[in-house]
Amino acid sequence: MKIVVLAGGLSAERDVSLITGTMIYKALKKKSHQVILLDVYLGYEGPLADIFETEKDWAANIGGIKEENPDIEQIKALRKENPERFFGPNVIEICSKADIVFMALHGENGEDGKVQAAFDLMGIKYTGTDFASSAIAMDKAISKEIFAFYKIPTPAGIYVKKGEDFTWNTYPCVVKVCNGGSSVGVSIARTSQDMEVALANGFAYGNEVIIEEYIKGREFSVGVIEGKALPVIEIAPLEGFYDYKNKYQAGSAIETCPANIPDDIATKMKKIAEDVFVALRLKTYARMDFMLSENNEIYCLEANTLPGMTPTSLLPQEAQAIGMDFEALCEKIIEISLNKYR
């Protein structure tokens, strides 16, 4: 099968996306597919004839995930022409030649449905959910409204635009950018004095934030494939909370799958994950993040429509717990994604 693994881009999660893409690229190469790893923004300026037959290590020179977010202006400076355009040279043409595009993008212009919508208009097949459900899940404010409608337990919170007056008196609390992922722009404000710094951090990545109650307890995640939940995984950061560093720097967190929790709690959490999948109109696969309070109350934080597939990512560990190795998981995602087009 001819497959383009699409990664990179201009979001704050660019580095994570490139590592995700590299892992998927190598896995699919092992399964003898004709695979190209392509940076959606930088594109490819070499010859296009027989590109899928070209003997080339497309993953060469891909770096690791740094503790700091990537400098997007430096990335833009690498483009020779039209740096204002999102799709890089020959990206659309190469993707059009593929049987399917494996979406390894994260964050803005990857998980928010814009690329998916463009591909739909151009007749390009891609993995994961569609543009509408991507946009809904990416917007935490809209997601929380849908959670409330379907009675899905989630922390109480408010939506705030930059420069807008608001009232919030519950501390500690969590401030997060409304359309972001990988915990980029997320802060815990323990006092009203912390709020200004937390808001500045959130607004650095967008003009809208969510402020929600802080749930003290344990952190979990549940992957869902074709509407069916995988085993629950627990994430225990060695220090702090499950922020960008703890997610992607090896050894920063202890992950246990299946999670060491009572069966009834695991069953309930998996059921809520499946309910979220339905409520947000998701297709193919996704991953839901949870907090379990000290009183064993379950709270769904958000849904991730393009979960990370890095060496420390959660979804591959959950799949492994049911006997599905990484290569099989990648092929399964392709298989169920193609069903969207049948």
Total number of domains in the chain: 3
| Cβ partners under 8 Å of residue 273, min gap 6 | 222, 223, 224, 229, 288, 290, 300
List the 34-39 sheet strands across, edge first: 34-39, 2-7, 100-103
Find the domain containing 67 and state its range. Answer: 2-126
230, 288: one domain: yes
Helix (H, G, I), strand (E, B) or coil at 119: helix
Contact 249, 190 (CB under 8 A): no
Give mean pLDDT, residues 40-61. Answer: 89
Domain contains 148? no
- Does some domain include residue 140? no
What CATH number is associated with residue 172? 3.30.1490.20
Cβ-contact 301, 290 below 8 angstroms: yes
Write the DSSP symbol of residue 2. Answer: E
Q: What is the pTM of this model?
A: 0.89
The reply to whether 104 falls in a domain is yes
Measure the CA angle with vertex 122, ends 42 and 23; round to 5°. Answer: 45
Contact (CB, 8 A) for 203 and 313: no
Determine the average pLDDT of the residues in 301-325: 91
Q: Does residue 149 belong to any structural domain of this protein?
A: no
Between CA 48 and CA 17 the distance in angstroms is: 24
CA distances from 24 to 7, 37, 58, 301 (A): 10, 9, 12, 27
Percent of the residues in the chain that have a pLDDT greater than 90, as a whole number? 70
Summarised one tens digit per residue, pLDDT across range 134-166 is: 999 999 999 999 999 999 999 999 999 998 888
Mean pLDDT, rounded, for 280-291: 97
pLDDT of residue 242: 44
Across 299-320, average pLDDT = 91
- pLDDT attached to residue 245: 47
Q: Which residue has the tokens 């449905």?
A: 113
Of 194, 213, 232, the residue at which a domain comes to its end is: 213
One domain for residues 62 and 114:
yes
Asked if 221 and 235 touch (Cβ cutoff 8 Å), the reply is yes
Average per-residue pLDDT for the chain: 90
Per DSSP, helices labelled H in the chain are 14-30, 72-76, 91-97, 114-122, 131-138, 140-149, 192-203, 244-248, 263-279, 314-321, 326-338
What CATH number is attached to the domain comprising 295? 3.30.470.20
Q: Are residues 321 and 279 in the same domain?
A: yes
- The residue assigned the tokens 């007056």 is 165
Residue 132 lies in a domain: no
- Give the span between the Cα atoms of 250 and 239, in whole angstroms: 13
pLDDT at 73: 86
Give the tokens for residue 115. Answer: 């690329």
pLDDT of residue 244: 46
> Is residue 66's pLDDT more than 70?
no
Most confidently modeled range among 18-22, 205-209, 333-337: 333-337
What pLDDT, on the 0 to 100 scale, is given for residue 75? Answer: 87
Q: Are 318 and 233 in contact (CB under 8 A)?
A: yes
* Cβ atoms within 10 Å of 12's Cβ, excluding its own: 22
Please check whether residues 266 and 223 belong to one and the same domain: yes
Chain length of the chain = 342
Same domain, residue pair 177 and 226: no
H or E segment to which residue 171 belongs: none
Does residue 150 belong to any structural domain of this protein?
Answer: no
When pLDDT is cut at 50, 70 and 90, the band that residue 217 belongs to is very high
The pLDDT, as a whole number, for residue 64 is 55
Instruction: Indicate whether 305 belongs to any domain.
Output: yes
Rg (CA), the chain: 20
Out of 17-21, 132-136, 207-211, 306-310, the most confident range is 132-136
pLDDT at 112 exceeding the cut of 90: yes
Domain membership flag for residue 176: yes
Task: Give the model's pLDDT for residue 181.
Answer: 55
How high is the pLDDT of residue 186? Answer: 86
H helices of 71-113, where?
72-76, 91-97
Question: What are the tens digits of pLDDT across the range 227-280?
Answer: 999 999 999 977 655 444 444 455 668 999 999 999 999 999 999 999 999 999
**pLDDT higher than threshold 70 for residue 68:** no
